[in-house]
Structure 1
Amino acid sequence: MPTSELLPAVAALRLIDHHCHGVVPRDLSRAGFEAMLTEAESASPLGGSLFDTQAGFAVRRWCAPVLDLPRHAEPEEYLARREELGHAEVTRRLLRAAGLGALCVDTGHNPRSLLSPGELAEAAGAPGYEILRLEHVAEEVVESGTSARGFAGRFRERLTELAGAGEGRVVGAKSVAAYRAGLALAPYRPGEGEIAAAAGRWLASARPDAPARLADEVLHRFLVYTALDLGLPVQFHVGYGDPDVHLSRANPALLTDLLRATAPAGVPIVLLHNYPYHREAGYLAQVFPHVFADVSLALHNVGRRAGALLAEALELTPFGKLLYASDAYGLPELYHLGSVLFRGALSGLLREGLAEDAWTERDAGRIAGMIGAGNARRVYRLPG
């Protein structure tokens, strides 16, 4: 949406992208580009071009002008211009156009092939922070060598070390239990014997020719409690994702008992993505004081329907409990799309409320500030 059509308070926001990933530091073929426009493992010739999706049309509408092309430039023209500018300039332009005030980067997925938080921060012209992926840390501990009985202690030591490194650059942790074991996690903290037994099963099943992969309900729960003990806000992948996820096992309602059990600690838990369970996530954010939510990933995938998605998410989610995130991965375009579609959706929602006398202009500005940046600053204790 052009800046002139946005509510001024929304247009002026320096968004905090509280959940995002690195981008690919190389030029991409058409096949490589399209593969990153989908949560599928690759684009399928049976389904046609990924430019013929909500996300694909959004790229042509909103990203083309950032690369000095007319709106709705054809895919071939867009990709040729992308190659002409080079990946570094494309990344810089699109991240700057997103208007970010800070980035909280999940570094646990293919970190060696993507830009680091520092490199993203430089491209965006905004501070970069790190979100530790708990399973990735645990897998590194196992690959470095440990026993079943020694695993818990080694993981605690390593997470504590990482959380304290980098002068406050680590601001949270993330669990991908939804992908590995589902979200029906028991509420109680596992005991040392239970952890050792689960670690023993994991180590016994490990193959020397394959990377370690944690997929045990007890261990996922142990990782979460360890992060909470350190005061790290914990993000959970919820709902929509790549083909590894069984969607019915990624419903946030399955976390209810764990959320109830962890409420007394007062450490934030953030439900990521949530689609198509964004209404369930809104309920949980309303009834549990430490629970927050977002609609990342879905925003750019639903394209022009972003307004409907955000409105549904905010039916129950308190305005002080929803955070902005793009969940951009691989393509810098997804940073810009997340921002522009979110701004348009939020402006539309707030303008409707103003027209119906549901809130004042001052209220609308305050709501925009909370969702766009203030809530994330509070959850992750960011400066500013």
Structure 2
Amino acid sequence: MDFTSLKALIQTHPLIDNHAHNLLTRDTACNYAKYPLEQIISEAQGPALRNALSTLPLHRAAIQLAALYRCSSDWDHVKAARDEWVQRDYDGLIRECLRGTHTLLLDDLLTDQDVESYEWHDRFTTSQTKRIVRIEILATQTISSLMRDDSRSHDPAVLQDRWNQFSEGFKQRITGAIADPAVVGFKSVICYRTGLNVQPTEDNDDTLLLQSFARTVGQGQGSAYRVEDKRLNDWVVRQTLNLLQSAKAAASAPNKPLQLHTGLGDNDIDLVLANPAHLQSLIAQYPDVDFVLLHSSYPYTREAGYLACVYPNVYLDLGEVFPMVSRDAQESILRESLDIVPTTRLLWSTDGHFFPETFYLANKQFRDVMEKVFVDYVHQGDFTVEQAKQAAADMLFHNSNRAYSLNEKLTYEVPVSLNSLSSSTSTLDTFMRGNPDVKYIWMQFIDYTNTTRVRMFPIAEFAKIVRKERRIGICLCTQLMLQDDSIAPEGSAQGQFYMEPDLSSLCRNVGMNSKSATVMTYWKTEEGAPLPGCPRTTLQRVTNNLRELGIEVTCGFEIEVIFLQTTTDASGDTEYVPAVQNHSWSQMTRDTRTMVPLLEEIVDTLAAIGIHLEQFHAESAPGQFEFVLPPGSSVAAVDALLKARQVVTYVAEQHGLRATLHPRPLPHAAGSASHAHVSIAPPTHEDAFLAGVMRHYPALTAFTLAQDVSYDRVKSGIWAGSEWVTWGTQNRETPVRKISPGRWEIKTLDGLANMYLAIAAFLAAGYLGVKENLSLTVKDCIHDAAKLSPAEREALGITTELPKSISQSLDALDTDSALQSVIGETLVQNYTIVKRIESQRFRAMDEAVQRKWLIERY
């Protein structure tokens, strides 16, 4: 099943932010003493806010902001980078953070200090900003205008007169706001003041209401007034509803809902009275007024969802919890909101306020969580792709457009029947808005020798490719091409395939001086169908085969490189030697510490394009380091691996070094692998999957150990997988190390492999095991199998040696018809031809020449 169009819509569809607040002025944007930046992820205040630094939402936000600012994720560094951007280009920061926002609906009465007016925000959105009027502030303003002379406010007659004036004045203000075309809705914060248990009808005794008014006036004498007495607060809400209901009776009047803060808030809130269930009677009393329950009503999402399900005048807003709670909580909240609520009754908002980053984080996290949840629902059969796309577009845009009578038109329409062309165009447009300095796009693919092939285009020409106004043909003989561009005898100059960009992989080039970006491609036939033999298509197809069996795959990679510097010998020839000598595994020697600036630059550069390393450290060989990448879906994880390798290479070049993936560039030191972690979920079929891997392992090494030099690294006693086909729990002397249920590390894998094909072969073997329900006859090995006796190996079911050369692996692949059928016979045939010729050429080379040749290319 292809989720590309669904993911593209969720990530790029314009949105209407139905509840937000004004941004700080540039002069106050970095006044953290008054406006702590930590407020972006916490409702805590004062001393309690200091604890936010140790929360999961802040750690996540720091990583995402570090990618935005292109700095490290240390919180102090994040703030420093933010300060620099604010001073340099505050408008540019805001524009980046509000990217994708079509319309803002602002509650612009949160404060009247230090913020820009609501109209000022128009410059950052597609459409004009609209107002949401806070009714308690109107009530306060009305009281203040009447009580300038409060010396006789205790006189009953004066108090009655002031009440009458207040009542009339407040209604006039509400009526005026209803008539104001800039106002599209109202908001009550009664949840903060006296709770959501609003009395739905008037008191029979007006004296009680007058007494409530008197208490409010009395408490405010000589200072600002605050409406926080229950009877008066309830009256303010009811009068607003009365006026909205009356206005709704006019056939031509636009709909103007009442928003109510529910659930999550600071310590002013009585959490019990923040439950929207208290509003049920009030909602029933005013069936012609639409109620918007703000902030997912967290932690009362299900109660709010019930109200939105059974009352046609209730919407549930999904804002504020993004980015205030953890990723898992956000996912749970979205799932709970979908329990019974029609997707036409769900609205999106950021609750963005003061800092533009509140908008950025909320929108990014919501889109990511929505993508995960919706893809899962489609995979489980709860949604079709088209239904999920309709629901996403409704929640992001159409529901708010309808609920607030905005009558907005999309600047670029992404219809329900979104096809690959329109989604790709939208994705490119979104990318270019965020990267306006990019002028060139590199379209690239990886051939069977693991050589990266690139075509470069000015952005205008690449846009034509995306719009399918032109195609990029590549000669079919590329599938039989070697590193020096020579073609195997079986190749021909006739025929071509076409490169089709996968915009989900579009990523700017960093680590070098270039205003360009890279995109990976699929190979297509003349008719536009997938071309047999395309490595990315093959991996995606095998992943889909497992998905059809109910198995999801996740992959993660380790990059091992050795940093080399060049020297010149007496004859003038260039030699490669380790960048440092005093070096060992996971140790920071004096030599190793000189590499720290380079390592940190690599980590920061990767973070700038959204690749956040899990760890990095020194490996065993001189100048050798390891960078551990985060996990992801199979194709996306390989894409990230290739991009990360390029960044490591580019940054090293800036320092005059060569970062090589050569499996054994230093004959007397440990080699470099490219270990992969593969997980299947659920792990129910892990034994059958592993049984398939064990059965087909000799054949799949043709892809994982792709050159003869690869086999120099795989020897007993050096934690490289040893020499027998077996597996072991946390055993690094087995080709497959089991880490946990359904998760393994592939040890016999290095940087010379085409990783799309290597992972496809591993998954294909596991797929055959599950499909055939194989029994796992190879037992858990806790030793180096090469050091066991034949009898001990036999007792563990270890009967097959690993191939000792690429020729032996290719022979095994030639006889493994089952694995060939899953990977693809055409691909295997062409791959085998290329690899046999490649092996012959390498064997003919002098060892030193071959070593240098490979270092310069890998």
TM-score calculated relative to the size of structure 2 = 0.41
Offset at 1:251? 0.6
Offset at 1:12? 2.5
Offset at 1:369? 1.1
Change beyond 3 A, Cα 1:190–1:153: farther
Paired-residue identity, %: 27
2:188 aligned to 158, 163, 175, which one? 175
Change beyond 3 A, Cα 1:6–1:28: farther
Aligned to 1:203: 217
With 153-162 and 197-206 compared, the bigger mean Cα shift is at 197-206
Change beyond 3 A, Cα 1:35–1:365: closer
Change beyond 3 A, Cα 1:347–1:115: same
CA contact (8 A) 1:172 1:233 kept: yes
Q: Which amino acid aligns with 1:39?
A: E
Offset at 1:149? 2.0
Correspondence list, 1:278-293, <5 A: 278-293=301-316
Q: Deviations over 1:162-209 (max 9, x none)?
A: 3333xx21011111111111111111145793654432332233221x
Q: Distance in 1 between matches of 2:203 and 2:7?
A: 49
Change beyond 3 A, Cα 1:199–1:29: closer
Aligned to 1:223: 236
Correspondence list, 1:152-301, <5 A: 152-165=167-180, 168-189=181-202, 193=206, 195-208=209-222, 210-228=223-241, 229-230=243-244, 231=247, 232-263=256-287, 266-273=288-295, 274-301=297-324
Q: Distance in 2 between matches of 1:322 and 1:172?
A: 16
Q: Which amino acid aligns with 1:372?
A: L
Change beyond 3 A, Cα 1:373–1:43: farther
1:335 aligned to 359, 362, 375, which one? 359
Structure of greater Rg:
2
Q: Which amino acid aligns with 1:38?
A: S
Q: Which amino acid aligns with 2:217?
A: L
Q: Distance in 2 between matches of 1:14 and 1:337?
A: 16
CA contact (8 A) 2:105 2:129 kept: yes
Q: Distance in 1 between matches of 2:353 and 2:326?
A: 16
Offset at 1:282? 0.3
Question: Which fold has the larger relative contact order, with Cα–Cα distance below 8 Å and residues 6 or more apart in sequence?
Answer: 1
- Secondary structure of the residue aligned to 2:354 is coil
Aligned to 1:318: 342
With 13-22 and 51-60 compared, the bigger mean Cα shift is at 51-60
| Consecutive unaligned residues in structure 2, runs of 5 or more | 148-161, 248-255, 409-858
Q: Distance in 2 between matches of 1:5 and 1:79?
A: 36
Q: Deviations over 1:41-89 (max 9, x none)?
A: 22548x54x343233223222233333x05x522222211111122623
Q: Which amino acid aligns with 1:199?
A: F
Offset at 1:346? 1.2
Q: Distance in 2 between matches of 1:55 and 1:36?
A: 10
Offset at 1:216? 2.5
Q: Deviations over 1:279-325 (max 9, x none)?
A: 10000110111011123111211142222221122112221111001
Correspondence list, 1:366-377, <5 A: 366-377=390-401
With 189-198 and 333-342 compared, the bigger mean Cα shift is at 189-198
Aligned to 2:524: none
Count of residue pairs brought into register by the alignment: 372
Extract structure 1 runs of 4+ deviating beyond 6 A. Answer: none
| Consecutive unaligned residues in structure 1, runs of 5 or more | none
- Secondary structure of the residue aligned to 1:148 is helix
Q: Which amino acid aligns with 2:142?
A: V
CA contact (8 A) 2:121 2:129 kept: yes
- Secondary structure of the residue aligned to 2:349 is coil
Change beyond 3 A, Cα 1:63–1:17: same
Change beyond 3 A, Cα 1:190–1:162: farther
With 364-373 and 104-113 compared, the bigger mean Cα shift is at 104-113
Q: Distance in 2 between matches of 1:357 and 1:320?
A: 20
Aligned to 2:404: 380
- Secondary structure of the residue aligned to 2:130 is strand
Aligned to 2:81: 81
Q: Distance in 1 between matches of 2:205 and 2:257?
A: 23
Aligned to 1:58: 60
2:105 equivalent to 1:109: no
Aligned to 1:41: 45
Change beyond 3 A, Cα 1:44–1:188: closer
More strand by share: 2
TM-score calculated relative to the size of structure 1 = 0.90
Offset at 1:158? 1.5
Give the RMSD, CA atoms, in angstroms.
2.4
Q: Distance in 1 between matches of 2:111 and 2:42?
A: 17
- Secondary structure of the residue aligned to 2:299 is coil
With 123-132 and 283-292 compared, the bigger mean Cα shift is at 123-132
Offset at 1:271? 0.6
2:19 equivalent to 1:19: yes
